[in-house]
Structure 1
């Protein structure tokens, strides 16, 4: 797994089921909460981390897996969509000064998904 670049942005669209291709990357000691559709694949939220599958290249055969442990989150913020905005965001600051943006694109379920992701993060960080 390569190093996460600062200011990495992941785009989320809707809740989806967990593909079987992701199961080998889920540890036996973590529980899957739900999955979210990304641009070309999926992000999985467990009780311990966010696992984002990022297909790369024209064919999408090259895949990078980002693992974001909840324990590495130092601070986080939520930015909701305004009248003319197309997305809402959860901004994560991780230990080591890495920042991650989780963008939620506007549709009828955007706020529900944003709040679901926020609740998972908040429950781990705050308890």
Structure 2
């Protein structure tokens, strides 16, 4: 405990700060946001080493090697390709200087210390990440059901022949219908843009 207090007093700790919306364009992560494609920043946590930028499409992580080095490694995790899971919020105790938000995105795990005076903002981020996790899990399940149903339909239709159509034509017609079905369901259930979730929980 005393080491941690000393570290903060000397400015050596790596407790993150939630960046105000008006200062989003002043952080390094802004340079890597795909503004041209409609990507929008909703939440940024910045520490001495790292920046965690949550947009409507992805988490952009500028990973610093140390507080005294300017070197950064840019990592991007799209919500569509990297499922968010195991979201936890650890509030600060009486002598703690920071709260902590933890989550997995794909195979990567994060544990971010944030100034406990900004706990209300972190609660909003926690809600948004939980909601995204729930939406993706539900949609993955619905997509599985859709894929199973089209397979059953293909097998059923295969037992019947289309009048005046050759086997090749029948095969092509069934495959085209199945492809179009799966494509529409993939579009419906594989959400890429979660701006509405952030608008609900962070911009309320």
The CA distance in 1 between the partners of 2:48 and 2:115, in whole Å, is 11
The CA distance in 1 between the partners of 2:50 and 2:110, in whole Å, is 18
1:106 maps onto 2:116 in alignment: yes
C-alpha contact (below 8 Å) 1:79/1:89 kept by paired residues: yes
The CA distance in 2 between the partners of 1:93 and 1:47, in whole Å, is 17
TM-score by length of 1: 0.69
* Structure-2 change in CA distance of 1:80 and 1:68 (3 Å): farther
Matches within 5 A, 1:88-103: 88-96=99-107, 98-103=108-113
TM-align CA RMSD: 2.6
1:51-109 deviation digits (Å, cap 9, x = unpaired): 1223446441x22123233342232111111212222111113433x3211211233xx
TM-score by length of 2: 0.47
Structure 1: gaps spanning 5 or more residues: 1-9
* Structure-2 change in CA distance of 1:90 and 1:21 (3 Å): closer
Give 1 or 2: higher strand fraction. Answer: 1
Structure 2: gaps spanning 5 or more residues: 1-13, 136-204
| Equivalent position SS for 1:84 | coil
The CA distance in 2 between the partners of 1:117 and 1:26, in whole Å, is 19
C-alpha contact (below 8 Å) 1:15/1:113 kept by paired residues: no
| Equivalent position SS for 1:39 | coil
Task: After TM superposition, give the deviation of residue 39 of structure 1 in Å.
Answer: 1.5
- Could you say which residue in structure 2 is the equivalent of 1:46? 55
* Structure-2 change in CA distance of 1:99 and 1:41 (3 Å): closer
The CA distance in 2 between the partners of 1:55 and 1:45, in whole Å, is 17
Give 1 or 2: higher helix fraction. Answer: 2
Aligned residue-pair number: 114
Task: After TM superposition, give the deviation of residue 31 of structure 1 in Å.
Answer: 2.1
